[in-house]
Structure 1
């Protein structure tokens, strides 16, 4: 069996690795080709070109790199057609991956599977209809996604979210973290302003004052901020202006093999978190760390999204658990005073969120087979049904 896979982001590389491992467990003679990062390469793929050439976000970043991206697009399409694999699996990165899929479908009958469903449940539902005829099967991370795709005529299998397989720190590791950083038994707030420059730039001027307000009422409060490597320097700059300076976990200053463990320990040690909207809410739920979500965008993006958004919450824990226990402050509501007040309530009564977080993890597949193996089974079942 020959499989051509394409991933364009580190998160896709991780999904691809797990899927490849699952396929190897079920089909011992499987062979892989395509585009992937170090994790997929570790499972036996030789990448057509460096995956990070596709890890470009935002119009300002894409425009100067468009000619190179266009060449890689053409190169990838021709490589898929020349390889004649049994299946093409594209992983997230829809701007690149679905262009490849569309071109391949126009010139062949190759089966195409796309891993990670588009967020048609939140906005732009017509995207599901546009996938029909281009993608034969979608592998979804969330249990509420299949109906949206299937209504458009695309098979969609919920295969579980990778967050359920991530290791969690123990109580002993959390205690060790507090001891190592001199935190004692002080109430600890986790600050998570995002992993992109735009997020940090917009959220830091809100999170800093929110922390200051909370700290004024609770002088014993301490804060820790695990910085993402791409924005570690920026985090150091912006937090220098904060009235209350958090303990910053800078990955540039921590041994590479200890960065993930230090972050896990911080999550477990924290009493509550103030986080940007995104998948980090699932990481917090897995660690059972109560949270408040804050997020803002450019005013024009905010205005457009307000008209297009189809849900009353963007927090994934709320959506998966079908609850609204996680407070969120978005757009014009993303202000220090109400955020600080919500954090105070969470610190005083943290247990209210934990039932929703546990239900969320259960629904994402915590007690089921690993997502990579479930994804592999779904791919093979789709191929068998397709003859």
Structure 2
């Protein structure tokens, strides 16, 4: 039975990995899986080597206290791969961990695919010189990435963005309002603070203060990401209006359908909201020292993928020192009360999402085809 070893380092990668596994099994039921993943990959049959929350870190100062633990996990992962000798290794995003695994394996005869291209086009382009030899196939989610890597002598394949398979657009607004007894005229605000402990801890106080400053009350809804669920539940108890906490996927999508707007961190959540057609305001903060380092190497103008795809600001962004409750509340109030602002965003969403589709099939099917092409035929 052919063995594919997968490594995901955070919740978004876990979801990607689960969809990839499902698409692979539909084509090759004889495939076995091993590796590192979360609950979504476990549901597809993966027995994870260790919990992914132990490697879901972000930012220089956040990583440093965990450096010895991360080194131990890295050695454990590499040893497991060498012991199992899989037919194919698929590393999924989380370059801070997965690329270290790939480097530690060299030299190796194991076929390797890396799923989700490192964002060297956004910052620290010089990293590209370290990539040759790390993988045999690079699977890209964004349409402009293959050309970027080709410019550095690296082949890459666009497979489409799996957010198109998320079902984010399938929610039922009436069901959500009825379930939570929300009056017909009440404004609903989806709040998405992230899935990492560090970003949630930093953003939640800002988001709470923003809601307090809104001139008109809203009903906040917070979708819960597994790794930070306990933190979010505990830190939202002080909010002026008790938020509706949503733990299941259908509930999240119903919340999207019912929402008038969203206040979200940058990242994949912005694409989820675009698929659901929810006008949004994007914000983010990192440790000030990490920010001083990052701002010297970032090359792109936007943090939102929607804005990046269209090369114009469709979604307003208030980042780092602009991520202040007074600024956020003013911009959010405009979005909640100005139909033209919301309509302009929705038009931009439609343009951006068209660019994320693969040539045929779903993104996960395209990724599965690419992965299986690296294995001998059954």
Contact 2:169–2:275 under 8 Å retained in 1: no
Map of 1:284 onto structure 2: 273
Aligned-pair CA distance for 1:56: 4.3
Residues 313 and 212 (structure 1 numbering): CA distance in 2 closer, same or farther, change over 3 Å? same
Q: What is the CA–CA distance in structure 2 between the aligned matches of 1:144 and 1:248, rounded to whole Å?
A: 38
Alpha-carbon deviation of 1:311?
Answer: 0.9
Cα distance, 1:74–1:265 mapped onto 2, change above 3 Å: same
- The answer for the alignment partner of 1:255 in structure 2 is none
Shift of 1:69: 4.3
- Is 1:369–2:361 an aligned residue pair? yes
State whether residues 168 and 273 of structure 2, in contact with CA within 8 Å, keep that contact through their aligned partners in structure 1: no
Structure whose alpha-carbon radius of gyration is higher: 1
- In the alignment, what sits opposite 1:296? 285
Map residues 99-178 of structure 1 onto 2, 5 A cutoff: 99-106=100-107, 108-168=108-168, 170=170, 173-178=172-177
Displacement of 1:292 = 0.8
Question: TM-score if structure 2 supplies the norm length?
Answer: 0.85
In structure 2, distance between residues paired with 1:269 and 1:92: 31
**What is the distance in 2 between the residues matched to 1:274 and 1:53?**
24
Alignment deviations for residues 74-112 of structure 1 (CA, whole Å, 9 cap, x no partner): 343344334443322212232332222223232x33322
Of 343, 346, 351, the match for 2:343: 351
Answer yes or no: is 1:14 the counterpart of 2:15: yes
Secondary structure (helix, strand or coil) at the match of 2:282 reads strand
Q: Secondary structure at the match of 1:81?
A: helix
Aligned equivalent of 2:371: 379
Q: Matched residues in 2 for 1:211 and 1:46: separation?
A: 41
The 8 Å contact of residues 21 and 373 in structure 1, kept in 2 or not, is answered as: no
The DSSP-based 3-state class of the residue aligned with 2:90 is: strand
Aligned to 2:243: 247
Residues 266-293 of structure 1 show CA distances to partners (whole Å, capped at 9, x for unaligned) of 1110111111222111111111000111
**How much is the aligned-residue C-alpha RMSD, in angstroms?**
2.9
Matches of 1:51 and 1:236 in 2, distance apart? 21
Tell me if the contact between 1:3 and 1:89 (Cα under 8 Å) persists in the aligned partners: yes
Give the secondary structure class of the aligned counterpart of 1:155.
Answer: coil
Residues 83, 201 of structure 1: alpha-carbon distance in 2 compared, 3 angstrom cutoff = closer
Provide the C-alpha distance between the structure 1 equivalents of 2:170 and 2:39, rounded to a whole number of angstroms: 28
The gaps in structure 2 that reach 5 residues or longer are none
**1:212 offset after TM fit, Å?**
3.2
When residues 274 and 20 of structure 1 are mapped into structure 2, their CA distance, relative to the original with a 3 A threshold, is closer
CA shift in 2, pair 1:78/1:296, >3 Å: closer
Within the candidate set 294, 302, 325, 1:336 is matched to 325
Unaligned runs of 5+ in 1: 252-258
